[in-house]
């Protein structure tokens, strides 16, 4: 992977991690808030990961405070449960455009449009804005969750062209919860919710911080229900394009729609490596949203997944399983009033399905590795796994057998070693990646061959989040690219350097 452009973009990753103002812009979902929105459908061009310029149709925020720039995907709407929302659509395209809001409670008309009343002349699945016309949609955001809007007109063309966007509906209890802002970590931090114990050092969370970036994805069942609580959230909208189709739309010629074949794959309208560039990047004016999740060990990262393409995309995240807590804005619960997300499942690959959304919570701690990701440091770190640390507590990594009584730690069993239990190859034997610190330990570094590594200033661990249909991590015949980003686990600050509350309250990111 010696793509120079990739390295350049990764430099930006490094900047993101170091510079707190950028972090602040990052650890949240970019989008529009409010209850009244003005969209204009028009065409523009995006820049693909390989530099190609592609025609697209999208929506621009043409409210008085909006950018007016058409974007791919359309502006993300960030709403509150119970809001009555108005979207006024103006159409600068040459064909009718309409909007569907699946999962919303529509207040304005939902009647489809058949030109001349003829069955064969279906124009739109919902009231439409004619070319140079407008149409207004009113709906109530009845339920919290992750949703989308999309064109209901000429969908085989318009959805392939990009007329869609994401919707996040925050629960009424978003920032007004009786949830603990401080939870214990250590041995019991892996319970869900964390077990009630004060034996261990504690970590400040974002769940209920009125100024912070955390919250809950759904209304908790009770004061102890942390199953949808998160510290950081990200939105990932998947889509794809066939460059031949986009060229045909722009320049004409012959094209057979039945032969449509995607060769660009997008997260939030960008191909890798641009997925890892900053949001609102000046070099990507029509692609304002990035995909660059960052977190500390133990933090709950809510990833809202939306597929606006027409293909299935297996979303694979390295590092750990995710907990899928909701589908299509429906909490996976046997009883939302009492049980939290008790029908959630764990997965290392979640297939993104056209027209569906999924909310997942990803947490990484490095637990149970059999060695200590912090090496032999005498200090206990936030979310450090005691058994791996192997010093203070009785290890509970025993390969326990099923039994009705608690297992008794067997003295004969060897304690797990604290250090990496193998001799790693020398730097001459390896080709190191840009995100490798040179050290196997979190927060530590070691020299690498000049030209390798270097894009990991806080010595975090990085995990590829990508489509596991690996063809989809290319850009029109060039590897790497497509649906790919690197998720960063950034070490917590060393407690010895000061209390955790010294973190930037908006981002909770450690600043060196």
Site for other proteins in 305-344 (CB under 8 A): 310-312, 314, 316, 318-321, 327-328, 330, 334, 338-344
Give least dist CB 29 to other proteins, A: 21
For 103-134, give the DSSP string.
Answer: TSEE-S----EEGGG-GGGEEESS-EEPTT-E
Which x/- pattern over 202-231 shows residues binding other proteins (rule: CB under 8 A)? -------------------x---x-x----
> Among 51, 114, 392, 451, which residue sits at the site for other proteins (rule: CB under 8 A)?
114
Residues ≥6 apart with Cβ < 8 Å to 64: none
Between 210 and 410, name the residue whose CB sits nearer to other proteins: 410
What H or E segment, with its residue span, contains residue 18? Answer: helix 4-18
CB of 95 to other proteins, least distance (A): 11
CB of 250 to other proteins, least distance (A): 18
Helix (H, G, I), strand (E, B) or coil at 274: helix
Cβ neighbors of 480 (< 8 A, separation 6 or more) are: 1, 3, 6, 272, 273, 473, 474
If one asks whether residue 100 binds other proteins (CB under 8 A), the answer comes out as yes
Site for other proteins (CB under 8 A): which residue of 365, 384, 490, 507? 365
- Under DSSP, is residue 70 helix (H, G, I), strand (E, B) or coil? strand
How many residues would you count in the chain? 512
Residues 245-264 that bind other proteins (CB under 8 A): 256-259, 263
Among 431, 447, 495, 511, binds other proteins (CB under 8 A): 431
- Binds other proteins (CB under 8 A): choice among 55, 104, 167, 169: 104
Tell me if residue 338 falls in helix, strand or coil.
coil
The binder of other proteins chosen from 66, 112, 201, 285 (CB under 8 A): 112
* Residue 19 interacting with other proteins (CB under 8 A): no
Report how far residue 81's alpha carbon sits from residue 75's, in angstroms, rounded to the nearest whole number.
19
The minimum distance between CB 21 and other proteins, in angstroms, equals 26
Say how many CA atoms lie within 13 Å of 163 toward its Cβ: 28
The residue among 369, 349, 464 whose CA lies nearest residue 422 is 369
| Binding-site member from 15, 69, 420, 446 for other proteins (CB under 8 A) | 420
Which of 169, 476, 493, 503 is in the footprint of other proteins by CB under 8 A? 476
Q: Which stretch binds other proteins (CB under 8 A): 54-62, 104-112, 232-240, 280-288?
A: 104-112
Residue 250 or 342: which CB sits closer to other proteins?
A: 342
CA atoms within 13 A on the CB side of 136: 8
Is 50 near other proteins (CB under 8 A)? Answer: no
CB 307 within 8 A of CB 356: yes
Answer for which of 102, 201, 285, 505 binds other proteins (CB under 8 A) is 102
Count other Cβ atoms within 10 Å, centred on residue 283. Answer: 9
Tokens of 495: 């407690």
Stretch of 39-47, 54-62, 282-290, 429-437 lying at the interface with other proteins (CB under 8 A): 429-437
| Minimum CB–partner distance for residue 346 and other proteins (Å) | 4
- Strand residue runs (E) in 217-352: 229-230, 232-241, 264-267, 294-295, 301-307, 313-317, 322-327, 330-331, 345-347, 349-352
Rank residues 288 and 329 by Cβ distance to other proteins and give the closer one: 329
Instruction: Check: CB of residue 276 under 8 Å from CB of residue 293.
Output: no
**Nearest CB to other proteins, comparing residues 42 and 316:** 316
Of these, 66, 201, 336, 354, which contacts other proteins (CB under 8 A)?
354
Instruction: Please give the backbone phi and psi of residue 43, each rounded to the nearest 5 degrees, phi first.
Output: -100, 160
Q: How many CB atoms lie within 10 A of CB 73?
A: 28
Q: Closest by alpha carbon to 243, among 485, 40, 484, 49? A: 49
Burial annotation 367-399 (CB, 10 A radius, 16+ → b, else e): beeebbbbeebeebbbbbbbbbbbeeeebebee
Shortest reach from residue 257's CB to other proteins, in Å: 4
Site for other proteins in 133-152 (CB under 8 A): 139-140, 142-143, 152
Per CB under 8 A, 188 contacts other proteins: yes
Output the six-digit token pair for 348. 């290392």
Return the number of the residue (107 or 182) whose C-beta is nearest other proteins: 107
Among 59, 245, 436, 510, indicate the residue that binds other proteins (CB under 8 A): 436
Residue 141 CA to residue 265 CA, distance in Å, equals 30
Q: Which of 14, 18, 249, 369 binds other proteins (CB under 8 A)?
A: 369
Of 19, 176, 223, 346, which lies in the binding site for other proteins, with binding defined by CB under 8 A?
Answer: 346
Give the one residue of 65, 94, 117, 251 binding other proteins; rule: CB under 8 A: 117
Using CB under 8 A as the binding rule, whether residue 173 contacts other proteins is answered as: no
Q: Which is nearer to other proteins, 17 or 126 (CB)?
A: 126
The Cα 54–Cα 31 span in angstroms is 23
Which of the residues 396 through 415 are near other proteins (CB under 8 A)? 396-402, 404, 406-407, 410, 412-414
Element (H, E) at 158: helix 155-161
Taking CB under 8 A as the criterion, the residue among 156, 447, 495, 498 binding other proteins is 156
């Amino acid at each position: 992977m010696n793509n120079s452009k990739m390295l350049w973009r990764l430099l930006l990753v490094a900047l993101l991690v170091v510079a707190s103002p950028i972090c602040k812009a990052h650890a949240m979902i970019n989008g529009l808030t409010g209850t009244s929105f003005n969209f204009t459908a028009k065409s523009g061009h995006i820049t693909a990961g390989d530099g190609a310029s592609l025609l697209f149709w999208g929506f621009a925020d043409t409210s008085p405070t909006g950018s007016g720039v058409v974007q791919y995907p359309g502006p993300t709407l960030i709403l509150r449960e119970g809001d009555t929302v108005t979207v006024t659509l103006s159409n600068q395209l040459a064909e009718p455009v309409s909007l569907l809001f699946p999962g919303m409670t529509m207040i304005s008309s939902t009647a489809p449009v058949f030109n001349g009343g003829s069955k064969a002349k279906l124009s739109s699945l919902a009231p439409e804005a004619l070319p140079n016309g407008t149409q207004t949609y009113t709906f109530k955001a009845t339920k919290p969750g992750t949703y989308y809007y999309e064109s209901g007109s000429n969908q085989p063309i318009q959805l392939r062209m990009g007329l869609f966007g994401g919707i996040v509906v925050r629960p009424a209890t978003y920032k007004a919860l009786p949830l603990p802002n401080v939870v214990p970590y250590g041995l019991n931090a892996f319970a869900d919710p964390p077990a009630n114990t004060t034996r261990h050092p504690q970590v400040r969370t974002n769940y209920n911080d009125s100024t912070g970036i955390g919250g809950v994805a759904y209304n908790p069942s009770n004061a102890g229900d942390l199953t949808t609580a998160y510290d950081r959230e990200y939105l990932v909208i998947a889509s794809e394009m066939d460059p031949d189709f986009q060229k045909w739309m722009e320049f004409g010629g012959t094209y057979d729609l039945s032969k449509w074949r995607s060769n660009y794959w997008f997260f939030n309208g960008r191909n890798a490596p641009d997925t890892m560039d900053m949001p609102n990047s000046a070099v990507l004016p029509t692609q304002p949203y990035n995909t660059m999740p960052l977190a500390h060990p133990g933090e709950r990262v809510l990833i809202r997944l939306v597929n606006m393409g027409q293909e299935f995309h297996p979303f694979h995240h390295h590092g750990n399983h995710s907990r899928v807590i909701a589908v299509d804005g429906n909490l996976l619960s046997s009883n939302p009033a009492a049980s939290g997300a008790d029908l959630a499942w764990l997965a290392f690959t979640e297939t993104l399905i056209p027209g569906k959304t999924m909310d997942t919570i990803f947490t990484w701690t490095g637990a149970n590795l059999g060695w200590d990701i912090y090496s032999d440091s005498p200090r206990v770190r936030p979310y450090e796994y005691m058994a791996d640390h192997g010093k203070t507590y009785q290890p509970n990594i025993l390969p326990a057998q099923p039994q009705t009584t608690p297992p008794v730690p067997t003295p004969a069993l060897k304690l797990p070693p604290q250090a990496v239990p193998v001799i790693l190859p020398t730097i001459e034997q390896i080709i190191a990646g840009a995100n490798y610190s040179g050290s196997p330990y979190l927060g530590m570094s070691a020299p690498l061959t000049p030209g390798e590594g270097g894009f990991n200033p806080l010595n975090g661990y990085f995990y590829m989040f990508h489509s596991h249909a690996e063809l989809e991590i290319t850009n029109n015949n060039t590897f790497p690219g497509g649906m790919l980003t690197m998720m960063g686990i950034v070490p917590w600050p060393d407690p010895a350097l000061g209390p955790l509350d010294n973190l930037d309250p908006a981002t909770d990111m450690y600043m060196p």
